[in-house]
Structure 1
């Protein structure tokens, strides 16, 4: 997988003005609380993005679901509650025999979503979270994998380096959610 800092730089290169939204000081997210509640470590690129940036929405289309300081327990609970949504996606698309929901080994765990109902997940397989691949569940029933982290995937989706396979092209624009910059 891509180095987390290289992935973040690729995202900043793909989205003009993104670097201007970088926090002056990294957020102090209590990853021990988050990861203990989830029962797993999260990928380093995702953690770096969460520490360096407020909540982001790209191209009026997609958002990362990142914890913010002081919301760690609630964020982990909300992510755990989304497991039922993942199970529903698998059932609707008749994939529950092929794919599992985290915390099952190799199960799917949500990291982002789109305004169109597309879901961005990790396949939690491998010896560590840095090996997790991205799995996309598009609202039209297309499912596919991308062998890199969430930040690199998003950079490639926005820059055009990643074939969108049923997703719209994502404009290289970003806004913060909740007004924090």
Structure 2
């Protein structure tokens, strides 16, 4: 039986993308050194048209500012590469097949569904152990999307902040890492 462990909320939701990035750089001291010298020119309009959804501004800024990363030798997060935006969408769609299987197998009081179902789950990161980090999409728009964690151990939980703030709070020890290991404040480019 799968388990919805619960919901964690930030003390204050960071809605400004620059503020969320600053919080992540504070939680991950080595991150600032990996910041790209120039922001990557990702064609978000092509990607979002192909995906059928506008992505959150904090994630876009993260993807434009850093290479793909592995945090704490556990959590991999990255984004589209300029010129390969459609390939990123195809990868997301493949991940959605896994999300669909997990949602179908989950025995949760309130069923979850993959994107593009309204309010559906859309993956944005994964762990080296097969855990998924997803946006809970919603009609209020991408700046209001929250995070859902689907752990390989069948525990599901929610975080009511954005993706970048989630990373900062997880690495910074603000969150209980329910069904996840403690994530060390180490980062490498991959």
Q: TM-score, normalised by structure 1?
A: 0.94
Equivalent residue runs for 1:138-149 within 5 Å: 138-149=151-162
Aligned to 1:107: 120
TM-superposition CA deviations, 1:27-60 (whole Å, max 9, x none): 0000011100110000111000000001111000
Higher RCO, 1 or 2 (CA under 8 Å, sep at least 6)? 2
Cα offset, 1:126, TM superposition: 3.5
- Point out where structure 1 has 5 or more consecutive residues left out of the alignment: none
- Point out where structure 2 has 5 or more consecutive residues left out of the alignment: 1-12
Equivalent residue runs for 1:124-135 within 5 Å: 124-135=137-148
Determine whether 1:47 maps to 2:90: no
Aligned to 2:40: 27
Determine whether 1:36 maps to 2:23: no
Q: Which runs of 4+ in 1 moved over 4 A?
A: none
* CA distance in 2 between partners of 1:112 and 1:101 (Å): 15
* CA distance in 2 between partners of 1:40 and 1:122 (Å): 12
Determine whether 1:165 maps to 2:142: no
Match of 2:93, SS state, is: helix
Cα offset, 1:65, TM superposition: 3.8
* CA distance in 2 between partners of 1:8 and 1:149 (Å): 11
Match of 1:70, SS state, is: coil
Aligned to 1:67: 80
Is contact 1:27-1:52 (8 Å) kept?
yes
Cα offset, 1:94, TM superposition: 2.8
Aligned to 1:174: 187
**1:99/1:153 CA distance change after superposition, 3 Å:** same
* CA distance in 2 between partners of 1:33 and 1:95 (Å): 35
Match of 2:88, SS state, is: helix
